Copies of this chain bind each other. A is one copy, B any other.
């Protein structure tokens, strides 16, 4: 890498050569091979768009009547039948098509490879148009052509920075009209929307709108979200991005478990991104085997109270202390608070009270005054819970409100709430060891030495939040190939004149199976504030799933003793570079998680595509 450059200093020159996403790693990673499913090879062994045929799988939808009423044209056309991609053997190549693509919502690793996959399948005969700045760019017509040179630059790199993204929701008739204008002005034959559940719901509506208004533009969604909550059984085990993000978090949590065991004094509380599903937390737990991992879905389903959560963690802390392990790691899903039954009640009551008495409460000068005003308006249970929370959290609950005037649940520092409540509980146990240890109902048998050891517990906690550092990472080799395959699938669908589908790939253990899922089939109707909302139901952790079962079968052991493991940094070369999430392998009943198979490894020459 050394060369004599303009400054006459080899090293300073080669250093400047690493600017602008040209680190040695980024330079190397761009040339890594991509696995390509056999579906995308024509009879001459060249990459080509797939064609599609119907499978026997028909989506069942509880709201079928209302969905058919909401999406009459796409449902009439596609019904609820899942399509399967098959290699194109016709030899006829389609050309002259123009396909737009945009990113929507938070970044996820692999986004750039979606563009590369689209470009590869569209080939030189068609045009890929990038829409800048997410859905807002679609409204404003910010469209650029994506060139082979661009693909060379972004292949296998992280982030959504090449096109940018945003969170604009396309809802109003005027917005739909703007979308139509952008599509017509740019003569787009296809529109690919890369996003999560909301964005894919949007894609379904845009597809229907185009069918209704006679716009000849095929709309396809691509499932993206690090949270993993956009998944469809064995048709789509996981969206792209989840593998990379969970591997980054697992690297860091693995390091923290090892650090805790080395320094022997810290309890690390790690909040993990994921507003709703605890899939990230479950996967990271399976990877690292921490002392405690909270799974929101279990807490909601088993109706576990905040006090019970705190007690169970305190029990782990004391039991480990008695074993000489004065440290550990606790994983906390970001969305936990909304799954704790009595917290959910409290938040609902608060939202109502704050809405009704907004002005009165605003006029009260201090937090204490506001609380004194609010307590009597809550149910006794909620008032008591509220009073038991640390001041900071009470303040957040009352003062931080979103645009709709609701409590900003995502801002609540759940991990700090837990730490404070645990700290208090431990101080209580230390003060009253006789109530908790010794002979008698509900007491823990302990020797005088053990009780003395409990009295000497110093609870040193560190809190962490892992989120942003995983969203824009370079995709794992799995996500790189998976996102590429999703891009190829979406491009093939557009060329095959299919609209209203979500691209999907499954069977990660045997070459990959290419699917197209009719979007209306995924959409259900939810009542929100008295209004019907069309949503794709989030895929949550099922307590009956093998991944949760394996976790549940092992966690007590992990709580008592050190079983942690540390899966290390993501490898792009070498023997461990082809792993998929353990939870996916378990739930899909794959024989292993060490070696995915998404087809033949190809070294792409972007100039050829």
Instruction: Report which A residues bind B (CB closer than 8 A).
Output: 1-2, 10-12, 14-16, 18-26, 28-29, 106-107, 133, 157-161, 164-166, 248, 251-252, 254-256, 258-259, 261-264, 266, 268, 286-287, 289, 462, 464, 468-474, 546, 550, 554, 558, 562-577, 579, 582, 585-586, 589-594
Q: Give the docked Cα–Cα distance between A228 and B586 (Å).
A: 43
A-B contact pairs, 28 of them (CB 8 A): A1-B592, A11-B585, A11-B590, A15-B286, A16-B554, A19-B554, A19-B558, A23-B565, A25-B566, A25-B571, A25-B576, A107-B258, A157-B566, A158-B566, A159-B259, A159-B261, A160-B262, A160-B263, A164-B264, A258-B473, A259-B471, A268-B468, A462-B468, A464-B468, A569-B569, A571-B573, A571-B574, A572-B574
Scoring A473, A546, A591 by chain B CB atoms within 10 A of each residue's CB, the highest score goes to: A473
* Structural contact, A289 and B164, CB atoms closer than 8 A: no
Q: Given A159-B262, A571-B572, list of 7 further CB < 8 A pairs? A: A12-B586, A19-B289, A21-B565, A21-B566, A25-B566, A158-B255, A159-B259
- Residue in B closest to A575 when the chains form the complex, CB atoms: B28
> In the assembled complex, which residues on chain B have CB atoms less than 8 Å from the CB atom of A464?
468-469
* Structural contact, A591 and B107, CB atoms closer than 8 A: no
> In the assembled complex, which residues on chain B have CB atoms less than 8 Å from the CB atom of A161?
258, 261-262
> In the assembled complex, which residues on chain B have CB atoms less than 8 Å from the CB atom of A564?
20-21
Among B10, B266, B562, point to the contact of A592 (Cβ < 8 A).
Answer: B10
> In the assembled complex, which residues on chain B have CB atoms less than 8 Å from the CB atom of A16?
554
Q: Give the docked Cα–Cα distance between A251 and B568 (Å).
A: 13
- Residue in B closest to A261 when the chains form the complex, CB atoms: B161
Q: Give the docked Cα–Cα distance between A564 and B472 (Å).
A: 13
- Residue in B closest to A105 when the chains form the complex, CB atoms: B263
- Residue in B closest to A551 when the chains form the complex, CB atoms: B15
* Structural contact, A469 and B592, CB atoms closer than 8 A: no
* Structural contact, A24 and B594, CB atoms closer than 8 A: yes
Q: How far is the CB of A557 from chain B (nearest CB, A)?
A: 8
> In the assembled complex, which residues on chain B have CB atoms less than 8 Å from the CB atom of A563?
19-20
Q: How far is the CB of A30 from chain B (nearest CB, A)?
A: 11
- Residue in B closest to A574 when the chains form the complex, CB atoms: B573
Q: Give the docked Cα–Cα distance between A74 and B571 (Å).
A: 47
* Structural contact, B2 and A107, CB atoms closer than 8 A: no
* Structural contact, B259 and A23, CB atoms closer than 8 A: no
* Structural contact, B568 and A1, CB atoms closer than 8 A: no
Q: Give the docked Cα–Cα distance between A462 and B411 (Å).
A: 12
* Structural contact, B573 and A573, CB atoms closer than 8 A: yes
* Structural contact, A566 and B14, CB atoms closer than 8 A: no
Q: How far is the CB of A33 from chain B (nearest CB, A)?
A: 12
Q: Give the docked Cα–Cα distance between A585 and B9 (Å).
A: 12
Q: Give the docked Cα–Cα distance between A576 and B255 (Å).
A: 22
Given the known interface contacts A10-B591, A591-B10, A592-B10, the answer about A474 and B568 at a Cβ–Cβ threshold of 8 Å is yes
* Structural contact, B575 and A573, CB atoms closer than 8 A: yes
* Structural contact, B591 and A2, CB atoms closer than 8 A: yes
- Residue in B closest to A592 when the chains form the complex, CB atoms: B2
Q: Give the docked Cα–Cα distance between A164 and B262 (Å).
A: 5
Given the known interface contacts A28-B574, A571-B572, A574-B573, the answer about A472 and B23 at a Cβ–Cβ threshold of 8 Å is no
Among B473, B554, B569, point to the contact of A570 (Cβ < 8 A).
Answer: B569
* Structural contact, A258 and B570, CB atoms closer than 8 A: no
* Structural contact, A256 and B469, CB atoms closer than 8 A: yes
Ordered nearest first, which 6 A-B pairs have the shortest CB separation?
A: A573-B574, A25-B568, A159-B258, A569-B569, A259-B472, A161-B261
Q: How far is the CB of A109 from chain B (nearest CB, A)?
A: 9
* Structural contact, A566 and B474, CB atoms closer than 8 A: yes
- Residue in B closest to A162 when the chains form the complex, CB atoms: B262
Among B24, B462, B470, B582, point to the contact of A255 (Cβ < 8 A).
Answer: B470
Q: Give the docked Cα–Cα distance between A361 and B19 (Å).
A: 53
Given the known interface contacts A25-B567, A565-B23, A566-B23, the answer about A468 and B592 at a Cβ–Cβ threshold of 8 Å is no
* Structural contact, A19 and B565, CB atoms closer than 8 A: yes
* Structural contact, A24 and B567, CB atoms closer than 8 A: yes
Among B11, B20, B21, B261, point to the contact of A593 (Cβ < 8 A).
Answer: B11
Given the known interface contacts A23-B287, A576-B25, the answer about A107 and B263 at a Cβ–Cβ threshold of 8 Å is yes
Scoring A18, A25, A107 by chain B CB atoms within 10 A of each residue's CB, the highest score goes to: A25
Q: How far is the CB of A582 from chain B (nearest CB, A)?
A: 6
Q: Give the docked Cα–Cα distance between A599 and B15 (Å).
A: 25
Given the known interface contacts A563-B20, A566-B158, the answer about A258 and B591 at a Cβ–Cβ threshold of 8 Å is no
* Structural contact, A591 and B23, CB atoms closer than 8 A: no
